[in-house]
Amino acid sequence: SAAEKGGWDSFMDKEIHEDPAAVQRTLLGRFDKNGDVALDEVRIDEHDFKAIDKIIVIACGTAAYAGMVAKYAIEHWVRIPVEIELAHEFRYRDPILTPRTLVVAISQSGETMDTLMALRHAREQGSKVLAICNTQGASIPRESDAVLYTHAGPEVAVASTKAFVAQITAAYLLGLYLAQVKGAMFRDEIRHILDSLKNMPRKIQWMLDTQTKTIHQAAERMLNAQSFLFLGRHVGYPVALEGALKLKEIAYTFTEGFAAGELKHGPIALVDEGEPVVFIVPPERGRNVLHAKVLSGIEEVKARGAFIIAVAEEGDKDVERYADVVFWRPACPTLMSPLVDVVPLQLFAMDMAKLKGYDVDKPRNLAKSVTVE
């Protein structure tokens, strides 16, 4: 009903606008009085956490892309290897699991059968499983050794939106907690990162407040596009994959997401006059070598006549010069950028789907939770 949608005309609309609150609520109550990360609800004792020498994230769909983002952050912060694998692939390939491996199962619904089967397999092999889940008491958290709930609130629209930013937030908290317990970073470094994380709800809100019109106009302009390419590097790569997924799920548009560095190894052959290409441009201009690399990718496809949509940091003059449309992000550290960068891609997919007259909450052929293998 209209009341359930809180005045929005779809659940997806409502839920995208809850992205800031989803991050905020997932951070709430996760610190002790000294400001350190305190995950008391996660009933794995410090001793066991200290012993962890590898993390394997298992998930499907959007949750898997959240896991991919977390890999970049956790490896950088904790200096232990993090693998991310689609749950259905993991289960059937004889993965290497030891009691020191922490398996992190990410699932919004907590009922995805592929993920549940993978976590059962991991536990049978003696590994500890921690669930990152948005649904209290669902099968996945129930069968895990520990659970870190995302507090995004119920997600109704089939295409996942606010759960994604909440999953990244939860995985980041886990990473910072591990860094704390293992002494992998100085306390003030951790504090500094936490401060950046706590600023993200405000930055996402700025994106929603200022970029919506540009995004809508871009969707109107691109309505007849037959396909889209999404490109990003580093954490921008999983964001590109997620942006491509949103557009295929609800606007039924053929999309592919690639690592931007892969462009010259294949995808550039697809670029023709007018082909829409979405670039996630890393922040920290001047200080970030990846910025220049992504920019040269933009130049390459521009030279072949592509229509360029970029997500880039406010005031990025280089991007402004080449891109046909820019969705601006407020300045933030690279590892935090996925939390804002995904937002315009969620809105863009929703606008495209609405303009095409589709039901954005209930896309054809898809289910909110897939309870069969």
Minimum CB separation of residue 109 from ligand G6P in Å reads 3
Residue 189 corresponds to which amino acid? Answer: E
CB nearer to ligand G6P: pick between 114 and 351: 114
Lay out the sheet containing 82-86: strands in order across. 82-86, 54-59, 101-107, 128-133, 146-149
Subset of residues 31 to 50 that bind ligand G6P, contact rule: CB under 6 A:
none
368 is catalytic: yes
Instruction: Please tell me the count of residues contacting ligand G6P according to CB under 6 A.
Output: 15
Among 293, 302, 362, 368, the one annotated catalytic: 368
Query: CB of 335 within 8 A of CB of 76?
Result: yes
Select from 58, 97, 159, 215 the one that contacts ligand G6P (CB under 6 A).
159
Minimum CB separation of residue 134 from ligand G6P in Å reads 8
CB proximity list for 52: less than 8 A, separation 6 or greater: 80, 100, 101, 102, 128, 178, 182
* 26 near ligand G6P (CB under 6 A): no
* 369 near ligand G6P (CB under 6 A): yes
Select from 10, 101, 115, 255 the one that contacts ligand G6P (CB under 6 A).
115
The burial class, CB within 10 Å (0-12 / 13-18 / 19+), for 163 is buried
CA distance linking residue 66 with residue 165, whole number of Å:
8
Compute the chain's Rg from CA coordinates.
Answer: 20
* 63 near ligand G6P (CB under 6 A): yes
* 144 near ligand G6P (CB under 6 A): no
SS3 9: coil
* 24 near ligand G6P (CB under 6 A): no
Select from 139, 150, 160, 205 the one that contacts ligand G6P (CB under 6 A).
160
CA distance linking residue 290 with residue 19, whole number of Å:
27
Minimum CB separation of residue 48 from ligand G6P in Å reads 25
Lay out the sheet containing 227-232: strands in order across. 254-259, 227-232, 276-280, 307-313, 325-329
* 205 near ligand G6P (CB under 6 A): no
Q: Which residue, judged by CB position, is nearest to ligand G6P in the bound state?
A: 61
Q: Which residues bind ligand G6P (CB under 6 A)?
A: 60-63, 107-109, 112, 115, 158-160, 366, 369-370
